[in-house]
Amino acid sequence: MVETAGAPYTDPEVVARNTREHVLVSWSVQSKTNPVYITDAEGVWLYDSSGRRILDFSSQLLNLQVGHKHPKLVQAIQEQAGKMAYIGPNFANDVRAELARRLAEVAPGDLTRVLFTTGGAEANENALKAVRLATGRRKVIGRYRAYHGATFGAMSLGGDNRRWANEPGMDGVVRVFDPYCYRCSFGREPQSCSLECVSHIEEVISYEGADNIAAMFIEGLTGTNGIFVNPPGYLKKLRALCDKYGILLVADEVMSGFGRTGKWWAVDHENVVPDVITFAKGVNSGYVPLGGIILSQKLSDYFKDHMFWGGLTYSGHPLACAAGVANMQVYDDEGLIDNSARMGDLLLREMRKVQEKHPSVGDVRGQGLFVGVELVKNKQTREPITPWNSPSSGIAADLGKALMAKGIFVYCRWNMMFLAPPLIVKEEEILHGVRLMDEALAVADAAI
Ligand SMILES: Cc1ncc(COP(=O)(O)O)c(C=O)c1O
């Protein structure tokens, strides 16, 4: 395409045109997308091409834990680029080694060996390989309301409807129900719950043959399908079930890790130690693509004498790892885990007040700065305001637009809002965000 002579490439119209004509936007019908052009960002704030300030209340894709343009991460990346931008994974490298050591330090139990990837999907692909290789078993258990990434295996492993376009997908995946307490598959309420969402898995295991099952994959705390806070005892009971049958437990903490729930990992809320943690996003707040898996001692020992059949050109990329080391330091220096817990409590409390004012707000739930709002037509019947799997043009799009018009970005999907500001967020920013959401929810009230 020929550019208009003299037009700078930053010109909003040129950017919009180039985007429209040349960029394939993820998970979108291309003719229906019109992405907002963000020209600057700092802390919890985004600035669009007209200079308008927008509060980033979803940390982009729930990955920008330390917020935008954190000087320590910027400096670490600049310094590393000046020193050595890239070195292959089969050479030793200081920032790679240091980040792996720091991850082993914060990982639960004896999880101490890290394979780095470039994102969450690849992390889960490699976890799949590791558990199949180490156990010699083929099947894996996943959950219907899970998302593990968009590559072939990870997509199959999740139950999220985005897998449909990928099907029949990978062989050997068995799916079970989720701890979705607001809409319990077993008809229970919290007071009558006896964790049937775990018990039924034992029945599934008996039909599939425990000796065929390598691992069970869970999201540490389910994210994209609706922020399902694990009911008390769920993780412990699941760990015990896996142990009973020699099935490995893999916790996908890609979204729920790195303090999102107010602890380093969602599994820490019950002191449960999985056999593998998969991570990405928050590990370096998304400044350079990075993910990975952390293996237990037992799995790590297995690969001492056995080949690990996997690798990536960019495994442990120095720029990404340098950002990761700086990121971990910021967590310590700025007390981000603690801030997530405290600000999360405030956000949950304030949103529960908002819930009382709006007929469309059926449920508000969360842990740390990982809060979900579920919209309904009727609070008594809990009928969703738009059906599960409704197209992106429904209430999520209308509400998303109304929120942006008020100056706040909130990731909305189906009948859900995902409130997950950067972990550096301050009290006044939480209260400002809550006020804007309170106003914008008029759009949802009008739609019921
Ligand atoms: C729980 C979970 N796992 C895996 C992924 C995939 O990560 P990525 O998009 O980095 O491949 C995501 C992405 O949102 C996620 O939420």
User: 189 and 316 share a domain?
Assistant: yes
Residues 112 and 213 placed together within one structural domain of the fold:
yes
- Give the pLDDT of residue 388: 78
Pocket of ligand 1 (CB under 6 A): 61, 119-121, 124, 147-149, 219, 223-224, 252, 254-255, 280, 291
Quick one: 116 and 151 in the same domain?
yes
Atom of ligand 1 nearest to the CA of 118: 10
Out of 145, 255, 258, mutate this one to test ligand 1's pocket (max ligand atoms within 8 Å of CB): namely 255
- pLDDT digit string (tens) for 175-228? 999 999 999 999 999 999 999 999 999 999 999 999 999 999 999 999 999 999
182 with 301, same domain? yes
Do residue 40 and residue 98 come from a single domain? no
Residue minimizing CA distance to atom 13 of ligand 1: 149
d(CA 319, CA 80): 6
What CATH number corresponds to the domain at position 102? Answer: 3.40.640.10
Instruction: Decide: helix, strand or coil at residue 343.
Output: helix
What is the whole-number distance in angstroms between the Cα of residue 121 and the centre of ligand 1?
6
Containing structural domain, residue 376: 36-69+336-446
Residue 2 is classified by DSSP as P
Instruction: Pick the atom of ligand 1 nearest to 149's CA.
Output: 6
To test the pocket of ligand 1, the residue of 254, 279, 285, 288 to mutate (highest count of ligand atoms within 8 Å of its CB) is: 254
Measured distance CA(383)–CA(360) in Å, rounded: 10
Contact 403, 395 (CB under 8 A): no
Shared-domain flag, residues 210 and 304: yes
Per residue in 52-77, pLDDT (tens digit) is: 999 999 999 999 999 999 999 999 99
**Which of 141, 143, 274 is closest to 212 using CA atoms?**
141
Q: State yes or no: pLDDT of 287 exceeds 50.
A: yes
Least confident of 11-15, 170-174, 373-377, 441-445: 11-15
C-beta separation of 42 from 69 below 8 A: yes
Domain's final residue, options 334, 353, 376: 334
Report the alpha-carbon distance of residue 425 to residue 370 in Å, rounded.
13
The pick from 118, 122, 147 for probing ligand 1's pocket by mutation, whose C-beta has the most ligand atoms within 8 angstroms, reads 147
Residue ID of nearest Cα to ligand 1 atom 4:
148
Are residues 83 and 62 part of one domain? no
Which residue do the tokens 């960019």 mark? 314
Q: Which atom of ligand 1 is nearest to the CA of 291?
A: 10
Amino acid at site 356:
E
Residue ending a domain, among 280, 313, 334, is: 334
Beta bridge partners of 374: 363, 416
| CA separation for the pair 7, 171 (Å, rounded) | 52
Decide if 18 is inside a domain: no
Mean pLDDT score, 156-172: 93
Strand order in the sheet with 53-56: 38-42, 45-48, 53-56, 408-409
Residues 363 and 251 in one domain: no
Same domain, 149 and 184: yes
**What is the structure's pLDDT at 392?**
59
In a domain, 265, yes or no: yes
pLDDT at 391: 62
Residue 179 belongs to a domain: yes
408, 57 Cβ separation under 8 angstroms: yes
CA of 146 relative to ligand 1 center, distance in Å: 10
- Whether 341 has a pLDDT exceeding 70, the answer reads yes
**Worst-scoring range by mean pLDDT, 121-135, 276-290, 377-391?**
377-391
Q: Which residue has the tokens 């490699």?
A: 126
Mean pLDDT of the chain: 96
Residues 6+ apart with CB under 8 A from 347: 366, 369, 371, 419, 421, 430, 433, 434
Query: Is the residue at 49 inside a domain?
Result: yes
Instruction: Encode pLDDT of 345-403 as tens digits.
Output: 999 999 999 999 999 999 999 999 999 999 999 999 999 999 877 765 688 889 999 99
Query: How far does residue 8's CA lie from ligand 1's centre (Å)?
Result: 35
Number of domains in the chain: 2
12 domain-assigned: no
Q: Quick one: pLDDT band at residue 10, thresholds 50, 70, 90? A: confident
pLDDT surpasses 50 at 1: no
Question: Would residue 17 count as lying in a domain?
Answer: no
CA of 19 to the centre of ligand 1 (A): 24
Residue 29 lies in a domain: no
Q: Which atom of ligand 1 is nearest to the CA of 224?
A: 16
pLDDT value, residue 277: 99
> From residue 271, how far is each of 231, 232, 299 by CA, in Å?
14, 12, 20
Tell me the C-alpha to C-alpha distance, in Å, between residue 370 and each of 69, 150, 255: 22, 22, 9
pLDDT of residue 7: 60
Question: Is residue 46, in this structure, part of any structural domain at all?
Answer: yes
The model's pTM: 0.97
CATH code, domain with 389:
3.90.1150.10
List of residues 6+ apart from 355 with CB closer than 8 A: 361, 363, 364, 373
Residue 253 Cα: closest atom of ligand 1: 1
Query: What one-letter code names the amino acid at 58?
Result: S
Which of 117, 281, 285, when mutated, tests ligand 1's pocket best, judged by the most ligand atoms within 8 Å of its CB? 281
Check residue 381 and give its pLDDT: 97
Same structural domain, 225 and 371: no
Q: How far is the CA of 224 from the centre of ligand 1 (A)?
A: 9
Q: Are residues 85 and 220 in the same domain?
A: yes
Looking at 319, 334, 349, the residue that finishes a domain is 334
Sheet containing strand 361-366, edge to edge, reads 361-366, 371-375, 416-419, 411-413
Q: Quick one: 325 and 367 in the same domain?
A: no
The residue among 303, 299, 261 whose CA lies nearest residue 281 is 261
Residue identified by tokens 């209308």 is 398
- Residue 9 CA, ligand 1 centroid: distance in Å: 31
